[in-house]
């Protein structure tokens, strides 16, 4: 039985490759020309690409565990829920700080902060700066409303147009410029990286984002406990005022040179003294719980410590000219080699391989 026409051995393939190599050597000048074209395009691409600045801020998050069961039970006698601090430890365990870092609330607030001032909306904001260096605003020049949008001295709340543009900035920023994760799987050090064509935007966005997210994390984490402390403080102050009044009243009700026959006259004095004792006891218990709550809050408050901040002069991380020249030249030469192989199979050496490798 004759072998099928499309059957071929490894030796056949090697013979074809040797013949193709000889074909390429004859076309060396064309291969060099293609490489030079690729190198030229690589040089052009180097000058056309935008700068790439990376601002990295790292911080340490220590979320302490809590255990104040006895204190919580004692405080519950006064209608307080000190155990709220305990539940916060489990709620914020894991990756919740990462979700806060990329939340719309935090990122939008940072975007609306001024480039020169973090507290007042005067002059250009980070959102305006982002629209400028990304070219988003330039692409809206045909639409007068979008072309003139600005967040400098923006009203509160924002107009529907401003809010929509801010949402566009948020989505673009999250997808192209933002990165946040733990430096290790089991570690508690968080890395926040902003990559942008503007070094000012990258540095300010990275620093302010960490600051704003940390403040929000701390407020929610300790909010219930601080509310309980404030309530205990108000109750302690009111009891102290009542106790002082009762002390003056008890002192004024003490009988002087009382007739032994009028024994009932000391009743008012005894009542005032009893009320004073009760108030003093209540005040002592409330103060004890207040100080215990403050101690527990200080023990259970999360520790957020910034470790590294981006430098003022960030290094441009875009690839160098030599890299892009090599990539483009190698890519063009590879494409030429692949295309030349198909050409060689069809017409090389008078088409002797055309039928043999018809599947190509």
Neighbours of 61 (CB within 10 A): 18
Average the pLDDT over each of 115-124, 261-270, 285-294, 307-316 and give the range with the smallest value: 261-270
Contact, 293 vs 82, CB < 8 A? yes
For range 257-265, the mean pLDDT: 49
CA 50 to chain centre: 24
Is 19 among the domain residues?
Answer: no
Question: d(Cα 7, Cα 190) in Å, to the nearest integer?
Answer: 60
pTM of the predicted model as reported, rounded to 2 decimal places: 0.63
For range 341-352, the mean pLDDT: 69
For range 85-92, the mean pLDDT: 42
Tokens of 316: 């441009």
Tokens of 87: 């539940």
Contact, 63 vs 92, CB < 8 A? yes
Which pLDDT score is estimated for 264?
47
Is 139 among the domain residues?
Answer: yes
Q: Inform me whether the pLDDT recorded for 22 exceeds 70.
A: yes
Query: Between residues 114 and 360, which one has the greater pLDDT?
Result: 114
Cis amide prior to 157 (ω within 30 degrees):
yes
Which pLDDT score is estimated for 28?
83
Q: Inform me whether the pLDDT recorded for 16 exceeds 80.
A: no
Phi-psi region of 53 (alpha: psi -120 to 50; beta: other; left: phi over 0): beta
Which pLDDT score is estimated for 195?
92
Is 233 among the domain residues?
Answer: yes
Query: Between residues 224 and 234, which one has the greater pLDDT?
Result: 234
For residue 153, count CB atoms less than 10 angstroms from its CB and return exposed for 0-12, middle for 13-18, buried for 19 or more.
exposed
**Dihedral sign of CA atoms 123, 129, 130, 131 in order:** positive
3 state SS of 60: strand
pLDDT digits (tens, 9 = 90+) for 155-210: 778 888 999 999 999 999 999 999 998 887 777 788 999 999 899 999 999 999 99
**How many domains would you assign to the chain?**
1
Which pLDDT score is estimated for 267?
45
pLDDT digits (tens, 9 = 90+) for 282-339: 777 777 776 766 666 666 667 778 888 888 888 877 777 888 889 988 998 888 888 8
Is 356 among the domain residues?
Answer: no
Nearest to 267 by CA among 279, 255, 252: 255
Is 185 among the domain residues?
Answer: yes
Q: What are phi and psi of 293, to 5 degrees?
A: -65, -40
Tokens of 223: 């909010």
The residues, ordered by sequence, that sit 6+ positions from 93 with a Cβ below 8 Å of its Cβ are 63
DSSP string, 139-196: GGTTSHHHHT---TT--SSPPHHHHHHHHHHHHHHHHHTEEEEESSTT--EEEEEEEE
- Which band of pLDDT confidence, cut at 50, 70 and 90, is reported for residue 356? low
For range 12-29, the mean pLDDT: 80
Q: Inform me whether the pLDDT recorded for 359 exceeds 60.
A: no
Average the pLDDT over each of 27-36, 145-154, 189-198, 262-271 and give the range with the smallest value: 262-271
Tokens of 296: 């527990």
Is 34 among the domain residues?
Answer: no
Tokens of 219: 């407020």
- Domain of 78 in residue numbering reads as 53-254+261-308
Q: Measure the CA angle with vertex 329, ends 326 and 332; round to 5°.
A: 145
Is 42 among the domain residues?
Answer: no
Contact, 106 vs 142, CB < 8 A? no
Q: Inform me whether the pLDDT recorded for 65 exceeds 60.
A: no
What percent of the chain lies above the pLDDT cut of 90? 16
Which pLDDT score is estimated for 130?
93
For range 106-125, the mean pLDDT: 78
Among 82-86, 103-107, 112-116, 319-323, the range of highest mean pLDDT: 103-107
Nearest to 85 by CA among 177, 197, 220: 220
**Dihedral sign of CA atoms 65, 71, 77, 80 in order:** negative
Is 33 among the domain residues?
Answer: no
């Amino acid at each position: 039985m004759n072998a099928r026409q499309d059957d071929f051995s490894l030796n056949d393939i090697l013979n074809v490759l040797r013949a193709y190599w000889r074909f390429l050597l004859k076309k060396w000048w064309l291969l060099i020309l293609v490489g030079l074209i690729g190198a030229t395009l690589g040089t052009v691409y180097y000058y056309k690409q935008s700068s790439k600045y990376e601002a990295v801020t790292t911080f340490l998050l220590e979320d302490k565990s809590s255990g104040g069961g006895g204190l919580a039970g004692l405080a519950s006698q006064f209608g307080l829920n000190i155990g709220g601090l305990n539940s916060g430890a489990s709620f914020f365990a894991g990756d919740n700080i990462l979700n806060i870092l990329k939340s719309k609330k935090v990122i939008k607030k940072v975007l609306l902060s001024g480039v020169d001032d973090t507290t007042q909306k005067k002059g250009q904001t980070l959102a305006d700066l982002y629209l400028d260096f990304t070219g988003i605003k330039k692409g809206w020049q045909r639409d007068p409303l979008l072309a003139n949008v600005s967040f400098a001295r923006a009203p509160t709340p924002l107009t529907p147009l401003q809010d929509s543009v801010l949402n566009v900035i948020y989505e673009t920023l999250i997808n192209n410029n933002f990165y946040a994760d733990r430096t290790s799987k089991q570690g508690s050090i968080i890395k926040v990286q902003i990559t942008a064509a503007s070094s000012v935007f990258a540095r300010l966005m990275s620093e302010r984002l960490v600051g704003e997210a940390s403040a929000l994390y701390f407020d929610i984490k300790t909010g219930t406990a601080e509310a309980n402390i404030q309530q205990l403080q108000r109750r302690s102050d009111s009891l102290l005022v009542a106790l002082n009044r009762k002390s003056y009243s008890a002192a004024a009700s003490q009988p002087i040179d009382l007739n032994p026959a009028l024994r009932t006259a000391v009743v008012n004095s005894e009542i005032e003294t009893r009320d004073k004792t009760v108030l003093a006891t209540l005040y002592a218990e409330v103060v004890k719980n207040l100080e215990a709550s403050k101690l527990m809050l200080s023990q259970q408050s999360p520790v957020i410590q910034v470790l590294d901040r981006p430098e003022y002069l960030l290094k441009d991380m875009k690839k160098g000219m030599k890299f892009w020249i090599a990539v483009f030249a190698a890519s063009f030469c590879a494409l030429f080699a692949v295309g030349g192989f198909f050409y060689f199979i069809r017409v090389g050496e008078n088409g002797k391989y055309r039928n043999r490798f018809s599947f190509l």
